[in-house]
A and B are shown apart, each in its own frame.
Chain A
Amino acid sequence: MMIEKTIKIKNKAGMHTRPAATIVKLASKYKCEFFISKDGMNINGKSIIGVMTLAAEMDSEVTLTFDGEDEELAAAEITDYFERGFDEL
């Protein structure tokens, strides 16, 4: 099993450093693998330096994949954070 979700960046500032740090912190709580892909780049979501290389501005789309035993919980919490526009709406 694997969960894949495509999601739009909603906040004005995009996926800047603070949300990047929060995403990695959230992902680190889970055992499942978590990747973020955009424009052909596939980045391990538990690596802060990796996530920081992704330029995701407002209205752009990223694909999140979760794979592992607790993938459902991870997917729920992390997609929710994206949906909330990184709490910057």
Chain B
Amino acid sequence: MKNFKEIFKEAQNKISGIAAAPGIVISNVYLFTKETLEINHSSITDVEEAKKNLDEALFKSKKELNKIFSIAKERMGPTRAAIFEAQLMILDDPILISKIKERIESEKKQPEYIVNDEISKYQEMMINSTEAYMKERAHDIEDIKHRIIRNLQKKRWQSKIPNDSIVVSDSLTPADTILLSRHNVHGFITDHGGLTSHAAIISRSLNIPCVVGTHNATTKIKDGDKIIVDGFHGYILVNPTEEQIKFFHGKINKLIELQKGLEEFVHAPAKTIDGKEIILAANVDVTGEIDLVITNGAKGIGLYRTEQILEELGEFPNEDEQTRIYANLSSRIYPEWLTIRAFDIGGDKFKFVDYDEPNPFLGLRGLRILLENKTLFKTQVRAVLKASKNKNIQFMLPLVTTITEIHKAKEIIDECRKELRTEKISFDKNMKIGIMLEVPSAAVMARELANEVDFISIGTNDLIQYLMAVDRGNDLVSDLYQEFNPAVIRTIHHIVTETKKVHKSVSLCGEMAADTLAIPLLIGLGLDSLSMSPATITYAKRIIRLLSFQKAKALADECLKFTTEKEVTARIEKFFKENSITRTRNII
């Protein structure tokens, strides 16, 4: 029998990329192309269906705009926010909407064509005006026109996705990924993006094989092609040969066997052979994942990314909705911990169409946005407190840069506590407050920051990005995104030792925790708790149960002396061999 290396070496039909979520799958392709604003002029037969699609697109657009409008009001003052209010009113404009519907009925054309044509008429009037500001206004109208058309087109492709397919796309937004995953998608492949792109993170959490950064998958793969995706090695085989299919069917069966083997210790502790227990918690993106969390034996939820609620709902949930979501999760995971991270919006995670920040990753995001939008933040804090009756919720602040920000956030949290007391609403008075450590300035000041809070969680994705000054989504420089760079390891080491000096707990919740290669190193560095996507927990547990903590510590000490990433990874690979621990990808 051939091995992976030989199979891939011989393959004429392979595409390589970054292995972003493990697993092997053989299925047909759905090529997901976003025909952005290429207006479809075709005729339609079902007028009622077209009108219904229009109504749904208008409704979706309203939801999206409401989300932006609620931020805009506080951020930009009433004058600028008026633009959004006007855009919202356009979606309800009785004259415009009835005209569009009349034309759909009489002309029997795609609604996107009619919408484009009708709104463009108004824009022309504005552009032809002698007043300079009217040109600006035409631009604002362009925005809402695009939004409606985009939502109409989304509606069109959504109805086309066949079940059980592998989605191949240029890139995927979080909303796309979640939406597509509802169609029982078996795999994701993208041209762009790295290990920490949304497609990668969500695939891992949903346990769907994923290969990213292939550069040209969308040009080499056609809609309906049969392909094999190997999410362990980062290869795709297009229209595979009999031999390839047979080989991978064998691997799929081995994988099922391995997973069965892993099930044996789902409920066993993640304890090293010399008795050190590591808490393995789960990262949760979508509430539907809670079942996966429980079946994989997670010791609590180490990171609940609440901004995903926004992605799912398309708008900010109100206090009651949030309370319900948090309380439900808290009860499901009880008596283990639920760590709720405040909305981490901005940057790549949530784009405000209205801010063109030249440097969004260095701009208004994370805690910065929350402190600027007190109403939004308070709504969430109140909901978290109200949901805390089981006393198993802890609350975490994202992207903390300075100690002053912690003081400000704590003041707001205290304000909410006071309000609830006057309203005679009960909550956990001792609810723990923690911070994400992901900005180099905060890492340097780790001890002082830890002193202000109850716990620290290291977010490696952003920490590495900021420490190495590298955009994790940019293929041109992504080789500088080095999880094992000595600078990264020394920074983690610094954070852990400084935090322990003030006797606060420290965990790590970045993607690094899911990399089996990193596990001996992280444990050796003194981390007592790791949080990762639920599906990877049993894989990590298998490694930990084969490890000696003393040896891991010695490994970490050695790695702290190296100067290049290559030396570090080579040493860890050697460590696996010396201790006869096989990594998952080598078992199958």
Bound together: yes
**A interface residues with partner B (beta carbon < 8 Å):** 16-18, 20-21, 24-25, 41, 44, 46-50, 52-53, 55, 57
Query: Among the listed B122, B133, B134, which residue makes an inter-chain contact with A49, where contact means beta carbons less than 8 Å apart?
Result: B122
Closest 7 CB pairs of A and B: A47-B95, A55-B131, A18-B82, A48-B89, A53-B125, A55-B129, A17-B82
Q: Which residue of B lies closest to A56 (CB)?
A: B131
Q: Is the CB of A18 within 8 A of B78?
A: yes
Q: Bound complex: CA of A74 vs CA of B189, how far in Å?
A: 59
Which residues on A sit within 8 Å (CB–CB) of B85? Answer: 18, 21
Which residues on A sit within 8 Å (CB–CB) of B140? Answer: 17
Q: Is chain B's interface secondary structure helix, strand, loop, or mixed overall? A: helix
Q: Bound complex: CA of A86 vs CA of B206, how far in Å?
A: 54
Which residues on B sit within 8 Å (CB–CB) of A50? Answer: 93, 95-96, 122
Q: Is the CB of A24 within 8 A of B122?
A: no
Which residues on B sit within 8 Å (CB–CB) of A57? Answer: 131
Which residues on B sit within 8 Å (CB–CB) of A41? Answer: 125
Q: Bound complex: CA of A20 vs CA of B78, how far in Å?
A: 14
B42 CB within 8 Å of chain A: no
Q: Is the CB of A53 within 8 A of B126?
A: yes
Q: Is the CB of A46 within 8 A of B94?
A: yes
Q: Is the CB of B96 within 8 A of A49?
A: yes
As a 0/1 sequence over residues 278 to 320 of chain B, the CB contacts with chain A under 8 angstroms (1 = contact) are 0000000000000000000000000000000000000000000
Q: How many residues of B contact A (CB 8 A)?
A: 24
B141 CB within 8 Å of chain A: yes
Q: Bound complex: CA of A60 vs CA of B172, how far in Å?
A: 50
Q: Is the CB of A55 within 8 A of B130?
A: yes
B71 CB within 8 Å of chain A: no
Q: Is the CB of B78 within 8 A of A52?
A: no
Give me 14 A-to-B residue pairs in the complex whose CB atoms sit less than 8 angstroms apart, sorted by A's number.
A16-B133, A18-B82, A20-B86, A21-B82, A21-B86, A46-B94, A46-B95, A47-B94, A48-B86, A48-B90, A49-B90, A50-B95, A53-B122, A55-B134
Q: Bound complex: CA of A24 vs CA of B90, how far in Å?
A: 11
Query: Could you list 8 further interchain pairs (A-B, Cβ under 8 angstroms) beyond the known A17-B82, A49-B119?
Result: A17-B137, A25-B89, A47-B96, A48-B86, A48-B93, A53-B122, A55-B131, A55-B134
Q: Which residue of A lies closest to B78 (CB)?
A: A18
Among B78, B82, B119, the most chain A Cβ lie within 10 Å of the Cβ of B82
Which residues on A sit within 8 Å (CB–CB) of B125? Answer: 41, 53
Q: Bound complex: CA of A55 vs CA of B134, how far in Å?
A: 7
B83 CB within 8 Å of chain A: yes
Distance between B119 CB and nearest chain A CB, rounded to angstroms: 7
Which residues on B sit within 8 Å (CB–CB) of A52? Answer: 86, 122, 126, 137, 141
As a 0/1 sequence over residues 70 to 107 of chain B, the CB contacts with chain A under 8 angstroms (1 = contact) are 00000000110011011001100111100000000000
Task: State which residues 122-144 of B face A: CB under 8 Å.
Answer: 122, 125-126, 129-131, 133-134, 137, 140-141
Q: Bound complex: CA of A57 vs CA of B129, how far in Å?
A: 12
As a 0/1 sequence over residues 211 to 222 of chain B, the CB contacts with chain A under 8 angstroms (1 = contact) are 000000000000
Distance between B512 CB and nearest chain A CB, rounded to angstroms: 47
Q: Is the CB of B131 within 8 A of A17?
A: no
Q: Bound complex: CA of A46 vs CA of B95, how far in Å?
A: 7
Which residues on B sit within 8 Å (CB–CB) of A25? Answer: 89
Q: Bound complex: CA of A61 vs CA of B126, how far in Å?
A: 18
